[in-house]
Structure 1
Amino acid sequence: MSADIYYQGAGTPVIIYIHSGALIFGTREWLPNEQIEYFNNNGFSVVNIDYRLAPETNFELIIEDIRDAIHWVRTGAIQWYDFDINKIAVMGGSAGGYLSLLTGTMDYKPNVIISFYGYGDILGSWYTQPSEYYCKKPIVDREHALNKIGNSEITNGKWDRFDYYVYCRQQGRWIQEVLKIDPKSDANKIKHYNPVDNITEGYPPTLLLHGTQDTDVPYEQSVIMYEKLKDMGINCKLITIDGADHVFDHNFKDQQVQVAFSELLEFLEVHLLK
């Protein structure tokens, strides 16, 4: 596992960023420089991580990578960086948002969670059934999909692996392919990795940001997580981006996005910097 460290000085709060890609593709290089500069300019150090990808790596080992990253920032990074290890936020988009939400169920919890168009319910029909949106695209057969993946562990998933993801979505087989678990016969095992089913009183303050026209992860995924957090008495907020699709935050200069990042900063100031 590798990381880029954008250090802003002694005692600075830390944002650990987890990239998107359905746990199948993607790289830490996807975090836009505009966002890194925005957080740096507002006094945050950023730790931008890679992690091992599925299906070559067992899902539980991917979770272990995320746990190890938080643990390293808390205990190992002090050799080189004197972050404020009592002020750690975990942030991610899409699958990175899912992994961020999952950190709230771990032993090493962050102080704050920020989820951009993430998902709290991997057992929902949106992921376990064929996707209407992806089924409108050219059908990817299994042989072609499997040709896009390999046999050895990787942490940098190239875009051609997206075809394997499309196959998973068209067949409603993401859980079987990535988690290697049957959602029908082993739903209880999957619930262990389902953030919405594992919210406790100690869950960190959480900010969810989602576009209403998201074609990849339904907007309702953040609504469901928000309602459950609210019911459990967790400090939480849902920022709705009207008309926005997936990865809306990469359109950084858009007025709605600028307002959303201002609200994100306010959330961090209240729940992380207090």
Structure 2
Amino acid sequence: MKTTQIPLNTYHDVTLNATIYAPDTKASATVLYLHGGGLEFGQRDDLPLDYIERFTSAGIQLFTIDYLLAPEVKLDVILPTLRATLQVIVDNGLLTSRTILMGRSAGSYLCYLLLRDGFEADGFVDLYGYSGLDYPEFRMPAGFYDNFPKVLPMNAQALVQRQPLVAGEMKDRYPLYVSGRQFGTWLSQFLPSMRDADRFSLTPEELGRLPRTLLIHSTADPDVPFATSEYAVKYLPDAELIPIQQREHDFDREVTPANLAIYDQIVAFITAIPVGVRATA
């Protein structure tokens, strides 16, 4: 496996990079990966090496990609900047004959929006994500977060930086997310306006135009409700939902034999996708 970091885009002097994990043989597919973190924290290279090696050993090249974080910028900036970042990959001929979008949690949400807005891919892997924002758990104080020390909105606001960010350590940024979920203000932290929730959610008709999709989600997810995946799979034209019998959100945070088996299923899903027209943005 060969690892390379490349710059793709800039926004207000902030560079958006990608890390490329390339197989030792010619790549047969490309995965474009977006990390999770509630749109407010996390960083592109958060996948454990054991998972990455599952892809490269199967001849799949993996791009892990930066995107701008909220609340320093809102979704109406995050999304077009990310689209422009992916366009650089396309324009430079870095894709293979099969391109798959893959995201975890908020990264999956961004993938849904990219696909809706015209980014063409041969497949999509959604790990505990969501295609829309109209869920009570997102709009009201979430009981699960009552178990955490209270982060008052004014204290959360003090964590917001003056410059845009593409990476945020959990210890520094997680309180922002916790505060938003405790007080039911999370959507306002990344939406330009609360009136824009529908604008940044996929309709059943829009879901019906997405490519072959694999969804994986814990049935008792305390953060992103399992209902988000149940809803999406009803309207996606060619989709499989793998339920995980756990109470964890990011159940794959730690490498275990069971989680390695899940990533083997992801690899099998990717390698089974027929070669089609090269994906373009």
Normalised to the residue count of structure 2, the TM-score between the two structures is 0.86
**Displacement of 1:196:** 4.4
Aligned pairs (5 A) from 1:244-259: 244-255=247-258, 257-259=259-261
Q: Does structure 2 conserve the Cα–Cα contact (< 8 Å) formed by 1:112 and 1:272?
A: no
Aligned counterparts of 1:7 and 1:262: Cα–Cα separation in 2: 18
**Displacement of 1:28:** 0.9
Residue in structure 2 matched with residue 167 of structure 1 by the alignment: 179
Higher strand proportion (structure 1 or 2): 2
Q: Which amino acid aligns with 1:222?
A: S
Q: Does structure 1 conserve the Cα–Cα contact (< 8 Å) formed by 2:222 and 2:247?
A: no
Match of 1:236 among 234, 239, 244: 239
Change (3 A) 1:92 1:200: closer
**Displacement of 1:228:** 2.3
Change (3 A) 1:40 1:196: farther
Q: Which amino acid aligns with 1:107?
A: G
Match of 1:6 among 14, 21, 24: 21
Aligned counterparts of 1:212 and 1:150: Cα–Cα separation in 2: 35
Residue in structure 1 matched with residue 271 of structure 2 by the alignment: 269
Q: Which amino acid aligns with 1:108?
A: F
Q: Does structure 1 conserve the Cα–Cα contact (< 8 Å) formed by 2:27 and 2:60?
A: no
Unaligned runs of 5+ in 1: none
Unaligned runs of 5+ in 2: 1-15, 277-281
Q: Does structure 1 conserve the Cα–Cα contact (< 8 Å) formed by 2:34 and 2:104?
A: yes
**Displacement of 1:47:** 0.6
**Displacement of 1:252:** 2.8
Match of 2:77 among 36, 52, 61: 61
Q: Which amino acid aligns with 2:268?
A: E
Change (3 A) 1:197 1:240: same
**Displacement of 1:272:** 4.8
Q: SS at 2:160's partner residue?
A: coil
Q: Does structure 2 conserve the Cα–Cα contact (< 8 Å) formed by 1:24 and 1:55?
A: yes
Count of residue pairs the alignment pairs up: 259
Q: Which runs of 4+ in 1 moved over 4 A?
A: none
